[in-house]
Amino acid sequence: MEWLGQAKINYTHSPDPISLKKKDGSDTTLLEICEQSTPPCNLNPLLFNGHLQTCWTAIKSDGPPLYYKRKVFEAENTSYAGSFCVDFVTQPSSGSSPDPDLPPRTTYFSDDEFVGIASLDSRPMLVALHGLSGGSYEVYLKHCLAPLVGAEGEKQWEACVVNSRGCAHHKITSSVLFNARSTWDCRQTVKWLRQKFPNRPLFGIGFSLGANILTNYVCEEGSNCELRAAVVLSSPWNLDVGSVGLQNTSIGLFYSSVMCGNLKKLAEKHKEQLIKNSKLDFKKLSETKYLHEFDRAIQCPTWGYPTEGAYYRDASSVDLLHAARIPIFAVNATDDPIALKQSLPYQEIQQTPYVILCTTSMGGHLSWFEIGGRRWHARPATNFLNKMAFEVESVVPVVEPVKADEDDLLAGRFNPLRRKWQM
C-alpha cells in the first residue's frame, strides 16, 4: 500500500517509557501519549519516495501567514560573543510597513513594544529552532506553529523562533556563525523567557539541524531543563555517519552540494565580519563544493576541531540522549535522503525512557506532503504538544540526574555530558 501514499509507522522506545500523571488524576506513559498523538500517515501518492518528497519542498509556497516581531539579543557568554535574533509570533500590526531587510511579515519590536511584552498569563509557549541556513519564515516550521498560535480560547499558544546566527536576514556582529552544537543562544533565550514569563510552561520544537541543536540543549540541561517537553523532526542525529552516507552516493553528493551552496552564500553575506577571524581562509572556502568541505573550511578552524569528522562526532546528539530528563518525541522518515536511516539512534532510544522515536516509511526530509499540500508532520507534533500542555500534569522521574563533573574515567562510567570541545 505504500505506493498509494500510505506510509507505515513504527515506534522505537525503551521497555519502560516514563510514566506521566494526567490532570484528571489518571496515569499514562510517554509512549501512549505519542501513539495517541500520531494519526495515520497518508501522503501524496505522486510523491512516492523520499527524493520526490524532499525535492517538492523547492516548489515555492509561502505557507501559513504568520507575523513576527524581532528582538536582537547580545550574547551573555563572552565565549560566544555577538548578537542573535529571536522572532516572536504576533498579531498583524495595522499601519506598520514591511521591512525590506527582513523576511516577509517580520518587523522589529519598538523599544516601547518590547518593554510591554511582559505577561503573567499561563499560556504555553513554544521555542522553535529551524533547519540548516533557514529561519522563522520556513514553511515546514510555520505549518507547526500556525495551528498552535491560531487556536482559540484556553488552547492558544505563544511562540518564538531562535534564528541561528547569520540566518533570516540577521547581520552578525562577530566572526562566529552557528554550528551543530550551538546551544548557547537557545539556552539564553529559554532563560530569558523563564524570567520574563514566570507562569508560562515552555516547550521546544526543532527541525533538522535545529532538532539536533535542541536535543543537545535539552540533554546538556538534564534535570535542570526549563522545557517541559520537546519535539524533534527529521533530526540528523549521528552527523558523522550521515556525512559518510551522503558522500557514498551521487544523489547524496547532490544534496551535499546544495547545502554547501546555501552555506557559502551565507558566509559570503557575512564576509565583512567573518574575515576578521584570522583562522578562516576564504580562498579555501571558495573552493568548497560539498557540505563536509565547507565544515572543514569553516567549522574546524573556528572551533578548533582537527577534522570535520571530529566536529561531527562531538556535535552529534545521539550519545547525549542518555542524559535526557524531559519527554522527547522524535519523528523521522526512513526514506529521508539527508537525515539517513543509518543515523537513527535505535539502540540509544531503547535505553532512554524519556525518548520515543516514531519512524514513517515515507516522508523525505521535513516534507511529509499530503494531498493538497498539507504537511503530515505538523499533526503529530501539535497533537503531542497540546496533550503535554493541557492534559499532562507531571512526569514521574525514573533516572537519577547525570553529573557533568563526576570523575568518570577513574570510576569507569560512561558520561554522555563529557564532550570534546570545551570553552
* Interval 92-112: pLDDT, tens: 876 667 788 899 999 999 888
Candidates 208, 234, 243, 343; catalytic one: 208
Candidates 185, 295, 319, 336; catalytic one: 336
Candidates 130, 270, 322, 365; catalytic one: 365
* Interval 190-215: pLDDT, tens: 999 999 999 999 999 999 999 999 99
Active site includes 322? no
Which class for 216: exposed (0-12), middle (13-18), buried (19 or more C-beta within 10 A)?
A: buried
Taking 90 as the threshold, does the pLDDT of residue 390 lie above it?
yes
DSSP codes, 187-243: HHHHHHHHHH-TT--EEEEEETHHHHHHHHHHHHHGGG--EEEEEEES----HHHHH
Instruction: Dig out the grid coordinates for 127 from the structure.
Output: 521555542
Please state the φ and ψ torsions of residue 144, each to the nearest 5 degrees: -85, -40
Active site includes 250? no
Instruction: Dig out the grid coordinates for 206 from the structure.
Output: 526543532
87-103 burial string, b = 16+ CB within 10 Å, else e? Answer: bbbbeeeeeeeeeeebb
Average pLDDT over residues 45-55: 95
> Where residue 413 falls among pLDDT bands split at 50, 70, 90?
confident
Average pLDDT over residues 118-142: 94
Which CATH number among 3.40.50.1820, 3.90.1560.10, 3.30.1240.10, 3.30.1180.20 corresponds to the domain 2-61+124-153+178-237+318-391?
A: 3.40.50.1820
| 68 closest CA partner among 218, 165, 169 | 169
Look over the chain and give the mean of its residue pLDDT values, rounded to a whole number: 93
pTM of the predicted model, to two decimals? Answer: 0.95
Active site includes 292? no
Domain with CATH 3.40.50.1820 in the chain: 2-61+124-153+178-237+318-391
